[in-house]
């Protein structure tokens, strides 16, 4: 009899918890450490999602635990108009890591940071039209939800006025192609903005984008795309907002994913990885944009803005990432993981594509390699089989978006743990596909 079936847990859980998304896993998580979470039977489960792509240092990292303990003993929360040393230190550290983005506001969640960024862009530009990718996820609050197109749009009434969308470039399933069949993203982008120009009332404010669309199925913006997108924005007086909730703080092999392309956004939002699992987010922008926003009485005043406790954790995260050379480790461990996934692609016909970079990778399951028909149901079975064998992998669970595993272990993951995860994946695919 497994302790995970405890009726004293599941009866009140089923009776009192609101169901807010895909179904809950049928295990009770009692504790977590490093790359593993442990269920009620004390069974280790390798966490290849880093707790919703957030725990970049793994679970219960000793430095984070120490910081939380010390900061709780001094000050955890303040009146929003008061400042503390951790807040100023974290803002200074972030500004040093992203030259040009000198102004920082600290908030709680990714949705909240995107909400603030959109609000700032509208105020500064005087426009109200926001453009996003059709496969995007930016949050569940008003403006952020209006710029989220991957799921959750039906049944909630009108989105914000001026919500526009263009398709994200998809190298595996290109809409516009060169003669050799490869993605012609330049023509696709030109076509998309021609449609935006026809729809716009002349009030374009911003484009909000993820450098790698995660919930969209790990769709990476090709080299050169970000620079072309920034130019499109500049030509129209728009601001470029980059949402690096999942790509920031080293995960892709750069401190921030945009640095690969040498293109600095007008506004950068961070969350998830910055707090290493605690609710911490940041909105970063230029001194010029912040000044304009201030002159126009920018208001984004929340209960947990500039909280000392999560700010102190953020400082610790940056310390550990630098001390332990985790940005470089994301490259080396990511290379090992990607080669292992590509080996699975060579062995199993149902693995259609492997993509992404660093330790944010995607494996797409298909029912047929020739047609590239998404294998959502097959992927869901593989995911369930992997969980039984001790590996937690997150699959994009919306059928219209195919069966894409989002694979994002902590930056602290060991080579042995990567090999263990790959072995379980292999056994799970073999068990289900055959």
> Which of 26-40, 149-163, 397-411 bottoms out in mean pLDDT, i.e. has the lowest?
397-411
Residue-wise pLDDT tens digits, 415-432: 999 999 999 999 999 999
pTM over 0.85: yes
Is a pLDDT exceeding 70 seen at residue 1? yes
109's CB contacts (< 8 A; 6+ apart) are 139, 271, 279, 281
Longest distance between any two alpha carbons in the chain, whole Å: 65
Is a pLDDT exceeding 70 seen at residue 402? no
Q: What residue spans of 252-325 are helical by DSSP H? A: 287-295, 308-323
pLDDT at 395: 81
Is a pLDDT exceeding 60 seen at residue 197? yes
Comparison of pLDDT for 433 and 201, the residue scoring more: 201
pLDDT at 220: 96
Average pLDDT of the residues in 119-137: 97
Is a pLDDT exceeding 80 seen at residue 127? yes
Average pLDDT of the residues in 319-346: 98
pLDDT at 397: 63
Residue-wise pLDDT tens digits, 185-195: 999 999 999 99
Query: C-alpha distances in angstroms, 1 versus 5, 24, 26, 31, 387?
Result: 8, 20, 14, 20, 18
Q: What is the percentage of the chain residues whose pLDDT exceeds 70? A: 99
Cα–Cα dist 349/365, whole Å: 9
Q: How many residues does the chain have?
A: 434
pLDDT at 434: 73
Residues designated as active site? 137, 210, 243, 246, 272, 406
274: which 2 tokens? 């910055």
Cα–Cα dist 98/93, whole Å: 9
Give me the half-sphere count of Cα atoms (radius 13 Å) on the Cβ side of residue 166.
25
Residue-wise pLDDT tens digits, 22-57: 889 999 999 999 999 999 999 999 999 999 999 999
Helix (H), strand (E) at residue 228: helix 225-235
* Residue labelled with tokens 């526009």: 164
* Residue labelled with tokens 């992404």: 356
Cα–Cα dist 289/101, whole Å: 10
pLDDT at 190: 98
pLDDT at 23: 86
Is a pLDDT exceeding 80 seen at residue 157? yes
175: which 2 tokens? 């809409």
What's the whole-number average pLDDT of the chain? 96
Query: C-alpha distances in angstroms, 148 versus 92, 199, 384?
Result: 31, 19, 27
Q: What is the percentage of the chain residues whose pLDDT exceeds 90? A: 93
Residue-wise pLDDT tens digits, 258-299: 999 999 999 999 999 999 999 999 999 999 999 999 999 999
Residue-wise pLDDT tens digits, 66-85: 999 999 999 999 999 999 99
Average pLDDT of the residues in 398-408: 77
């Amino acid at each position: 009899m497994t302790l995970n079936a405890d009726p004293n847990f599941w009866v009140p859980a089923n009776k009192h918890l609101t169901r807010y998304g895909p179904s809950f896993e049928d295990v009770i998580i009692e504790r977590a450490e490093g790359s593993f979470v442990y269920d009620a039977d004390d069974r280790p489960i390798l966490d290849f999602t880093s707790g919703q792509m957030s725990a970049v240092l793994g679970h219960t990292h000793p430095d984070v635990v120490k910081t939380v303990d010390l900061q709780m003993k001094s000050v955890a929360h303040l009146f929003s108009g008061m400042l503390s040393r951790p807040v100023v230190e974290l803002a200074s550290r972030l500004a040093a890591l992203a030259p040009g983005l000198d102004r920082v506001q600290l908030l709680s969640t990714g949705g909240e940071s995107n909400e603030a960024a959109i609000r700032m862009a509208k105020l500064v530009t005087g426009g109200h039209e926001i453009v996003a990718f059709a496969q995007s996820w930016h949050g569940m609050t008003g403006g952020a939800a209006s710029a989220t197109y991957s799921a959750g749009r039906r049944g909630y009434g009108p989105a914000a006025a001026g919500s526009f969308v263009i398709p994200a470039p998809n190298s595996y399933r290109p809409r516009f192609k060169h003669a050799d069949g490869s993605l012609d993203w330049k023509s696709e982008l030109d076509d998309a903005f021609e449609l935006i120009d026809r729809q716009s009332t002349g009030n374009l404010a911003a484009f909000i984008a993820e450098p790698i669309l995660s919930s969209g199925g790990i769709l990476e913006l090709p080299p050169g795309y970000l620079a072309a997108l920034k130019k499109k924005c500049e030509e129209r007086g728009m601001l470029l907002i980059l949402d690096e909730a999942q790509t920031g703080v080293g995960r892709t092999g750069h401190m921030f994913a945009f640095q690969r392309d040498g293109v600095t956004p007008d506004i950068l939002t961070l969350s998830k990885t910055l707090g290493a699992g605690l609710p911490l987010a940041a909105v970063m922008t230029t001194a010029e944009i912040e000044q304009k926003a201030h002159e126009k009485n920018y208001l984004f005043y929340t209960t947990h803005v500039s909280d000392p406790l999560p700010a102190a954790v953020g400082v610790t995260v940056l310390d550990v990432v630098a001390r332990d050379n985790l940005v470089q480790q994301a490259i080396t461990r990511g290379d090992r993981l990607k080669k292992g996934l590509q080996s699975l692609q060579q062995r199993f016909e149902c693995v259609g594509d492997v993509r992404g970079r660093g330790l944010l990778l995607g494996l797409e399951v298909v029912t047929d390699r020739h047609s590239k028909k998404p294998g959502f149901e097959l992927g869901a079975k593989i995911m369930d089989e992997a969980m039984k064998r001790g590996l937690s992998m997150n699959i994009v669970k919306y059928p219209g978006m195919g069966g894409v595993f989002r694979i994002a272990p902590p930056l602290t993951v060991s080579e042995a743990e990567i090999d263990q995860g790959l072995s379980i994946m292999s056994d799970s695919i073999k068990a289900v596909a055959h």
